Amino acid sequence: MCGIVGAVAQRDIAEILVEGLRRLEYRGYDSAGIAVVDGQSNYQRLRRLGKVNELAQVTKNTSVIGGTGIAHTRWATHGEPSEANSHPHVSGDITIVHNGIIENHVPLRTLLESRGYQFLSQTDSEVIAHLVEWELKSATTLIEAVQKTAAQLEGAYGAVVMNRLDPKRLVVARSGSPIVIGCGVGENFLASDQLALLNVTRRFMFLEEGDIAEITRHEINIYDASGEQVEREITESNVEQDAGDKGKFRHFMQKEVYEQPTAIINTMEGRIRPGEVITESIGVHAVEILKKVEHVQIIACGTSYNAGMTARYWFESLAGVSCDVEIASEFRYRQFVTRPNSLLITISQSGETADTLAALRLAKERGYMGVMTVCNVAGSSMVRESDFAFMTRAGTEIGVASTKAFTTQLTALLMLVTALGKEQKRITQEKEKEIVDALYALPTQIEKALSFDKQIAALAPDFADKEHTLFLGRGEFYPIAVEASLKLKEISYIHAEAYAAGELKHGPLALVDADMPVVVVAPTNDLLEKLKSNIEEVRARGGLLYVFCAPKAGFESDQSMKIITLPHVSDITAPIYYTIPMQLLAYHVALIKGTDVDQPRNLAKAVTVE
């Protein structure tokens, strides 16, 4: 959840480190810090509460000299956001930054205190600094001290260690939190995400679980969990350099909402052709595996879970294959039964979400016929650890609120369902053609939905002064309503709930009054008439309705009901399409409320802690 950057170079690196933190700020933004050392062991550490900009200002005004350094942007887990709790943490000549959670920090703290160490923060991370300092007393090298330290840590970490007295190197350890090494010429870098380093290199090595590496200006030495020296492949990044740029948009979220037609086109490229989905494009063994699948188990968190919930309707109604969807943090801690010939699918934008990754690892030991991930980040842990990865090609998503990741996940899942149904001979050629035609039409239709921006913005003032909102949908539009409520609560801080509309009278109807807007996702489908009855139930209780529907749905605006009529689209892709106005609504409400749209309070983009 935090961001880490490090460098060993001849030039002064403070500016590079701060720029790296800016690019990582989406991972956490409670406080930030930097520590730099020069060739003569002159050392500076600066830390600031708040966003990276605070740190950038002070770094600019202080001349920070030195070619070796580490930096960190924090999302608080242990200890409030404060300067004292900001990283880097120090113990004697040792400085560290850490991403993750050290679960056994309490006994370690007691042990270290008994050895005379004084703790200056409330963080779990500080134990790493003191442990390395202690181990270095008996170790011959810094890497040996870090290896001995790592052996005592429980939990997740990506941690970087710098020794003021040995300024030529950094040592980095990965266990549960991603770390990439950026390879330069006469200089090397590291970070928790390659995005941080794209302005200095495009060549990356991805550390694997348990790896500990030492980087100097000219060398990178990596040791695996057993202490064996290993090679890790260098890959050329294809992430766009300007991914961290808002361009003409006011916020990353807005930019990403508008990028959806292109992101969907990219996700479909090479995977469909007129009339058919190309099963082989899903993975080398896809045909063979999909033929045998009898059950699908989806695991995910947050928005990705909502994508899974939507796909469940498709797996069962289109492909005729049973499907369960579960929140990763629940799945991993309960006794579950693996059904025969069951395919496990994780869905994740980042590919690093701690709970989803842990569920994936658990599932690999529990007899699933295969583990697949639908993921947006190449080289991420989930991609590397799955049997096959179906990549969404949304491009880098920076806004904490997931938008284009969600609609590309849905696009990928719909293609997967179609391939599955076809391989199992449950989807006819005509049906396959209908689905593929709907997919081809989708990007243009989404452009049209985006042109409703102004009309939707005009609704936003009705929501901005409310404390509660209700979203309703039925069938596959119920998870779309859930996703809409997540978007609104996440960026506008308005309490938003979503219900399957049929559940209304079983409780939530009691909440309905003129102070609670009720948003209904109401496309034309088999359930429309049922939904109309649910709408009447709200109307009869004085509720104010905002109905998003298709032409000829038979709704009319009046004092208690505003109708937003969107152009007609295929029933099949309608869940993807109806997501767009929901995203726009959340965005415009947040604008009026003046919240931090891209970095909403208390949240971070990649949740790499439990």
Two tokens, residue 479: 């998870």
Shortest separation between residue 589's beta carbon and ligand M6R, angstroms? 15
Instruction: Name the 3-class secondary structure at 297.
Output: strand
Q: Which residue is nearest to ligand M6R (CB)?
A: 302
| 518-556: burial string, b at 16+ Cβ within 10 Å, e else | bbbbbbbbebbeebbebbeebbebebbbbbbbbeebebe
Interface with ligand M6R (CB under 6 A), residue from 213, 298, 607, 609? 607
Shortest separation between residue 177's beta carbon and ligand M6R, angstroms? 14
398 touches ligand M6R (CB under 6 A): no
Report the candidate in 512, 507, 501 with the shortest Cα–Cα distance to residue 541: 512
Task: Report the 10 Å Cβ neighbour count for 602.
Answer: 10
402 touches ligand M6R (CB under 6 A): yes
Site residues (CB under 6 A) for ligand M6R, limited to 567-606: 606
Interface mask toward ligand M6R for 485-514; x: CB under 6 A: -x---x------------------------
Q: Check if 549 is active-site.
A: no
Instruction: Name the 3-class secondary structure at 108.
Output: helix
User: Which one of the spans 222-230, 252-260, 350-358, 591-599 is the region binding ligand M6R (CB under 6 A)?
Assistant: 350-358
Q: Check if 248 is active-site.
A: no
Interface mask toward ligand M6R for 127-166; x: CB under 6 A: ----------------------------------------
Site residues (CB under 6 A) for ligand M6R, limited to 367-396: none
Question: Dihedral sign, CA of 587, 591, 592, 593?
Answer: positive
Phi, psi for 309 (deg, rounded to 5): -60, -40
Q: Which is nearer to ligand M6R, 68 or 392 (CB)?
A: 392
Task: Report the 10 Å Cβ neighbour count for 510.
Answer: 10
Site residues (CB under 6 A) for ligand M6R, limited to 245-304: 301-304
Q: Tell me the C-alpha distance between 442 and 9, whole Å.
A: 48
Pairing between strand 544-549 and 561-565? Answer: parallel
Task: Report the 10 Å Cβ neighbour count for 183.
Answer: 17
- Count the alpha carbons within 13 Å of 405 in the hemisphere toward its beta carbon: 29
Shortest separation between residue 304's beta carbon and ligand M6R, angstroms? 4
Q: Which is nearer to ligand M6R, 91 or 303 (CB)?
A: 303
Q: Which is nearer to ligand M6R, 301 or 584 (CB)?
A: 301
User: Which one of the spans 133-141, 343-351, 416-424, 470-478 is the region binding ligand M6R (CB under 6 A)?
Assistant: 343-351
Q: Which is nearer to ligand M6R, 188 or 350 (CB)?
A: 350
Write out the H or E segment, with its range, that includes residue 203: strand 203-206
Shortest separation between residue 302's beta carbon and ligand M6R, angstroms? 2
Two tokens, residue 361: 């690892």
Q: Pick the catalytic residue: 51, 255, 422, 605?
A: 605
Site residues (CB under 6 A) for ligand M6R, limited to 2-61: none
Q: Pick the catalytic residue: 2, 301, 323, 375?
A: 2
Report the candidate in 190, 356, 265, 257 with the shortest Cα–Cα distance to residue 581: 257
Question: Under the rule (CB under 6 A), what is the footprint of ligand M6R?
Answer: 301-304, 348-350, 353, 356, 400-402, 486, 490, 606-607
Active-site residue list: 2, 605
